[in-house]
Structure 1
């Protein structure tokens, strides 16, 4: 069988096309956005919202803790330390608990936007031997600073044990940015 140059060239091109088709082509993957810097506590505002009693009932109480970013885009740990204080400024024997679940280590918070977490507690004397604490203030630690907000609540726990405070990790809230 005689092979012409044109036929051989065609075979070579076809072979290259087949090899090229079998070789995966890597698409350009966009780079991940740069990590936002840590939020400046001086540019954050803490607010509480009982959401018209949504947290209350069946001997339970609670509130939504909202952190608004008044500065540029930044990031916060998804789990910030929370402490409760009485009217004299004494830290209450409360143990914050978070359900084990996958969550991001940090949360990006856009300028003018907010993040929120829920706090829930037992609000009635439901234990065989009760202990109560009168809460006057909640403090959320951001870096070396504490964000503070007044809170008027009575919490109950079993005598001889810390009072349980259930909380969720911070989550970004949808919506338009507020004026800064």
Structure 2
């Protein structure tokens, strides 16, 4: 009986610590579109699309195989000052007329509604790299696929668009689904 009480107390304390750390992570996330992080005495502003460039890189086939495919997403800060980029941004796949195609992001594994994804500081002229992954084979009963011509990333008030070659598949009920691997700063 005593062991059970100690176990419950330890579990409750562990859960409280987990919640507290999640609250701390949420407090660290950017709250406005102005200043987000302090770097010395200077605030680092959120990245704007007019200071970024977008490029896709298939990594020489890093994602291809077993009915899967994908691409690296590389964002470059073309500006002369550092800026902060959300760790994960909304993604849309578009047809050749730049109309949005039906595809949905798979939730990241972990706590619901998902793990905290920290923002990434992009140095002046620095890069951040993330990736998109998807099922490319018609492996489902009642498979539905799309062949996008463009991918669009929403960043703040704007968006960046790049050409893409892909074949995304999913079930007829869910439609094509993709995974987003959050951005990390690339070593300079």
Give the TM-score taking structure 1 as reference length: 0.75
C-alpha displacement at 1:88, in angstroms? 2.2
| Residue 49 of structure 2 is aligned to residue 49 of structure 1 | no
**Which stretches in structure 2 are left out of the alignment for 5+ residues?**
1-37
Question: Which residue of the partner structure matches residue 164 of structure 1?
Answer: 177
In the alignment, which of 78, 82, 86 is matched to residue 73 of structure 1?
82
Larger Rg: 1
Range with bigger deviation, 88-97 or 129-138: 88-97
- Conserved? CA contact 2:68–2:134, under 8 Å: yes
In the alignment, which of 149, 152, 158 is matched to residue 165 of structure 2?
152
User: Structure 2 CA distance, aligned partners of 1:32 and 1:112?
Assistant: 17
Deviation sequence 1:28-86 (CA, Å, 0-9, x none) = xxx97354111121010000000000110000000000000011101011111111101
**Which stretches in structure 1 are left out of the alignment for 5+ residues?**
1-30, 176-180
Equivalent runs, 1:117-156 vs 2, <5 Å: 117-156=130-169
User: Structure 2 CA distance, aligned partners of 1:96 and 1:60?
Assistant: 15
Give the TM-score taking structure 2 as reference length: 0.72
Question: Which residue of the partner structure matches residue 32 of structure 2?
Answer: none
Question: Which residue of the partner structure matches residue 27 of structure 1?
Answer: none
Give the length in aligned residue pairs: 145
- Cα distance change on mapping 1:42 and 1:32 into 2, 3 Å: closer
SS of residue paired to 1:36: strand
- Conserved? CA contact 2:88–2:117, under 8 Å: no
